């Protein structure tokens, strides 16, 4: 087993002022810029939504697919039903469930100082209860 010398971590936060309740924001370029800034050549980057009604996922950057994902999530966790969570005074029960389906984070390899994504893979921030300031933590680890 080879242990890399100079293991380090680097952390940064992306902030969003979401304008809509639901938004799908491509953040691949932001993550790529962060990896370059980190100067990590071999390792991983963690991209994690820091809100319980938002997620991060990797998929194709194609408008029809984004609409399909949104429709699929709406079928599995529809808006406005009588969720028990709403008894707390909240009205975002569906947003919490959608976050579970999308997941809250992804880990992407860093190879030769660059994101090691497949040819069509893009990183997205998915917001399900927006219209306010939100953030994502980026943490690069490696050498």
Q: Options 3.40.50.920, 2.60.120.460, 3.40.50.2300, 3.40.1190.20; which CATH number does 8-142 get?
A: 2.60.120.460
Model pTM score: 0.94
pLDDT score of 1: 45
DSSP class of 20: S
pLDDT for 62-121, tens place per residue? 999 999 999 999 999 999 889 999 999 999 999 999 999 999 999 999 999 999 999 999
What one-character DSSP code corresponds to residue 44? E
74 vs 40, 101, 102, 124, CA distance in Å?
38, 11, 12, 18
Q: How do residues 12-49 score in pLDDT, each as one tens digit?
A: 999 999 999 999 999 999 999 999 999 999 999 999 99
Distance of CA 55 to the CA centre of its chain: 5
Domain boundaries of the chain, sorted by first residue: 8-142
């Amino acid at each position: 087993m080879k242990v890399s010398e100079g293991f380090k971590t680097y952390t940064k936060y992306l902030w969003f002022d979401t304008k809509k309740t639901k938004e799908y924001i491509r953040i691949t370029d932001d993550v790529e810029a962060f990896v370059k800034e980190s100067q990590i050549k071999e390792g991983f980057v963690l991209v994690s939504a820091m809100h319980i009604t938002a997620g991060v996922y990797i998929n194709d950057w194609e408008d029809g697919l984004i609409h399909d994902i949104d429709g699929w999530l709406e079928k599995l966790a529809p808006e406005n039903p009588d969720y028990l969570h709403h008894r707390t005074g909240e009205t975002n029960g569906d947003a919490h469930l959608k976050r579970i389906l999308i997941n809250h984070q992804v880990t992407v390899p860093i190879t030769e100082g660059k994101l090691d994504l497949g040819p069509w893979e893009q990183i997205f921030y998915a917001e399900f209860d927006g219209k306010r300031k939100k953030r994502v933590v980026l943490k690069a680890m490696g050498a």
